[in-house]
Amino acid sequence: MPRTPLFAGNWKMHKNVVETLEFLEAFLRKAKDVHGEIAFCPPFTSLWAAAERLKGSGVKIGAQNMHWEDKGAFTGEISPAMLKEIPCDYVIIGHSERRQYFNETDETVNRKVKAALKYAIKPIICVGESLEQREKGKTLSVVLSQVERALEGVDIRDGKELVFAYEPVWAIGTGKVALPSDAQEVIGAIRNKLSELYGARVSQNIRILYGGSVKPENVRDLMAEPDIDGALVGGASLDADTFYRIAAYDQG
Ligand SMILES: O=C(CO)COP(=O)(O)O
């Protein structure tokens, strides 16, 4: 596989600074056998402490959201320049919880993707259909349109500077993981779309993760699919041992 797997923990609104440091201590004691890349995305308030602790460890840091402007009168927002200072390697953009509760749209996702790339922060762009859309047979049209609109006017150099995460909304936090073959069907279609937009070479370099109720028990079957390059993990990333068992799934 031309792509290094990525296992990213999206902690959502969990873990203060003390809890973050306790988690990282426990995780780093184990992390030696992980072959792929690891990233943690704590809340903004824990980012700096996490980045300091992770210096030199090879484990990456990501934020869960950002604004697209460099600075300005945007009360409560965080800019890409601020994330770069931490420094963040990744930023999650367009998570379904932000689309659902905080008015994130394909247009704001697109602006944020461009801003992240300008600062050389790798966006993890989230796409996914709701249960209703799946039941109406609209999964591929919804997801591929999210992909296309996220990338409108976006130049991609070699594909290594961004990541997609396919997260079916009905699988997030529900314990209902997608069948690996269903996840592969959508992720394969995303890769074909990326190939149409940017050519085969670039699309082969873009990592596409699966997210939604990933656990140590189901990660191996997901990773056996040819186009699934890792996982964006919510609930199961909050416990160091559980997340380790996901990331080191191939260590027996
Ligand atoms: O939303 C997710 C990751 O971004 C997935 O959450 P769960 O792993 O808790 O289903």
**To the nearest whole percent, how much of the chain has pLDDT over 70?**
99
173 is in an annotated binding site: yes
Residue-range definition of the domain harbouring residue 113 = 6-251
To the query of whether residue 95 is one of the catalytic residues in this protein, the response is: yes
Q: Would you state the structure tokens that stand for residue 86, as one six-digit string?
A: 């931490």
Structurally, the chain folds into a number of domains equal to 1
1 inside domain:
no
**CB distance 177 to ligand 1 below 6 Å:** no
| Per-residue pLDDT, 32 | 80
| Per-residue pLDDT, 31 | 85
Nearest partner of 228 among 240, 243, 242, 214, judged by Cα:
214
> Please, which residues have CB within 8 angstroms of residue 144's CB and are 6 or more apart in sequence?
189, 190, 193
Question: pLDDT tens digits, residue range 210-223?
Answer: 999 999 999 999 99
242 inside domain:
yes
Question: pLDDT tens digits, residue range 73-86?
Answer: 999 999 999 999 99
227 inside domain:
yes
Read off the CATH number of the domain in which 94 is found: 3.20.20.70
**CB distance 235 to ligand 1 below 6 Å:** yes
Residue 92 CA: nearest ligand 1 atom is 4
Report residue 1's pLDDT band, with 50, 70 and 90 as the boundaries: low
Report residue 252's pLDDT band, with 50, 70 and 90 as the boundaries: low
Task: Take atom 3 of ligand 1 and give the residue whose Cα is closest.
Answer: 234
For residue 42, the CA-to-ligand 1 centroid distance in Å is 13
204 class by beta-carbon count within 10 Å (0-12 exposed, 13-18 middle, 19+ buried):
middle
55 inside domain:
yes
61 inside domain:
yes
Q: CB–CB of 219/248 below 8 Å? A: no
141 is in an annotated binding site: no
To the query of whether residue 67 is one of the catalytic residues in this protein, the response is: no
139 inside domain:
yes
d(CA 87, CA 118): 14
Best residue among 214, 218, 222, 238 to mutate for probing ligand 1, ranked by most atoms within 8 Å of CB? 214
**CB distance 173 to ligand 1 below 6 Å:** yes
Question: pLDDT tens digits, residue range 84-141?
Answer: 999 999 999 999 999 999 999 999 999 999 999 999 999 999 999 999 999 999 999 9
3-class secondary-structure state, position 1 = coil
84 inside domain:
yes
Best residue among 6, 12, 127, 169 to mutate for probing ligand 1, ranked by most atoms within 8 Å of CB? 12
Q: What is the mean pLDDT of the chain?
A: 96
